[in-house]
Amino acid sequence: MLAETHEVVLATTSPICELSTEDFTVAAADPARFAELERWCDVAVVQGYVLERVPVLRDSKKVLVVDLYDPIFLEDLELNRDWPQPGRSRQIRNVVRVFREQVERGDFFLCASEKQRDLWLGFLSAAGRINPANYDRDPTLRALIDTVPFGLPDTPPRHSGQPALKGSFPGIGQDDAVVLWGGGVYDWLDPLTAIRAVDRVRANHPAVRLFFLGVSHPNPEAEESRTLKAARTLAGDLGLTGSHVFFNETWVPYERRADFLLEADVGISLHEEHVETAYSFRTRILDCIWSGLPTVATGGDSFAEVIEREGLGRVVPGGDVEAVVSALDDLLSDASAREACRANAAAVAPRYAWSEALDPLVRFCERSAPAADGLGVGSLPAGTDGPYPGRSKAGAVGLYRRGSAAYRRGGARALGAGATRAARRFIRRLV
């Protein structure tokens, strides 16, 4: 959508870049190339650890948009559960520091849902960004942070004509009932309940097939999650592997996912009761909505509310095998119930189309103005990974640059506000 009205370059810090499109430039960028892009652009959009890995963007005075779609520090609490101390705590502190610096530096922020927006408003408030200047520009603070979730194509999915599951994947017949687990198997998810439920459901539905779509990762260095290992073990112990439970060992290209979605009968997305759940935005459920796939999902996140409210499937309590059995049996037994879910999904999907989802970002880039408080533009020297993460000795240079930028943008008022914030942070680190 941005490329329709703007020049866009999508740059990755990875040396491997296999994507290409006629709509905009896609490139793997080394430090020299990033320096060129920083000079060229009017607006930079970053996510994750980009500011850590690309110093030229940390020091840039260009307008910066920060995508806060993924609160990584909440995922890491579970992902790194087995790490020994003090390494585990240090990792969380470092991730929080990364986000704190982004919140201090950004001019405009994106998040995935209204629930997430509440989380990040608290983060912004703690960083001093909820201030009179930003409030006076827009009392709703939408000019500072808005929801721009992952989106869907504006057109419905179409099958490529190349079979993916039924009558094609070994062990899955043309008339089998496929329950699709879309996406990866991560440690905050709950595939074990899905496997136990299918073990029960097969008594009434012998042709049920649970298919895990994403157990292989395109990055060969990515380790298999402990939850995936447990899922393989459980399926084997129950005698389900290769008969009723299937693990896809090849990575499915993004462009081919529609074939799997359209051949499945029911989608399933189960998760554990973690804090990550409340602020998650499961793109795998978006795919189910896009393809009209009736979905069985655990409650507790924003999509569960949509599924229940819009009649897109069944919502179940976390870890409740009996509830999952009932939901699967209901949907697999009743073709009219599945069809009702599909019809409802067709009405909901346009709300998540990219043309709708990206609108706040498109509108921001049309004006590409720095934040009203003038505090986003400047330099962020590297922080520490100690118990009180803060600025390095190079911080004086960064403070001077930020102060200069604030004065240019907002005069003495903005400079004074920035100095007050800096003093408060310093005092907090002393006490």
pLDDT band at residue 402 under the 50/70/90 scheme = very low
pLDDT band at residue 277 under the 50/70/90 scheme = confident
For residues 235 and 339, membership in a common domain is answered with yes
The set of residues, in sequence order, having a beta carbon less than 8 Å from that of 424 and lying 6+ positions away, is 128
* Domain boundary, last residue among 334, 352, 370: 352
Q: Which of 68-72, 206-210, 425-429 has the lowest mean pLDDT?
A: 425-429
Which pTM does this prediction carry?
A: 0.79
For residues 216 and 316, membership in a common domain is answered with yes
CA distance 47 to 379: 17
| Average model confidence (pLDDT) across the chain | 86
Residue 156 included in any domain: no
Per residue in 146-189, pLDDT (tens digit) is 999 889 999 999 999 999 999 999 999 999 999 999 988 988 89
CA distance from start to end of the chain:
48
Per residue in 342-372, pLDDT (tens digit) is 999 999 999 999 999 999 999 999 988 999 9
Per the structure, how many domains does the chain have? 2
Residue 20 included in any domain: no
For residues 367 and 334, membership in a common domain is answered with no
Share of the chain above pLDDT 70, in %: 86
Per residue in 91-135, pLDDT (tens digit) is 999 999 999 999 999 999 999 999 999 999 999 999 999 999 999
* Domain boundary, last residue among 327, 352, 377: 352
What residue has token string 């897109």?
A: 312
Residue 37 included in any domain: no
Domain range for 384? 42-148+358-430
CA distance 78 to 276: 9
Mean pLDDT of 57-75: 92
CA distance 163 to 168: 6
* Domain boundary, last residue among 352, 387, 415: 352
- Assess contact for 348 and 340: CB atoms under 8 A: no
Residue 130 included in any domain: yes
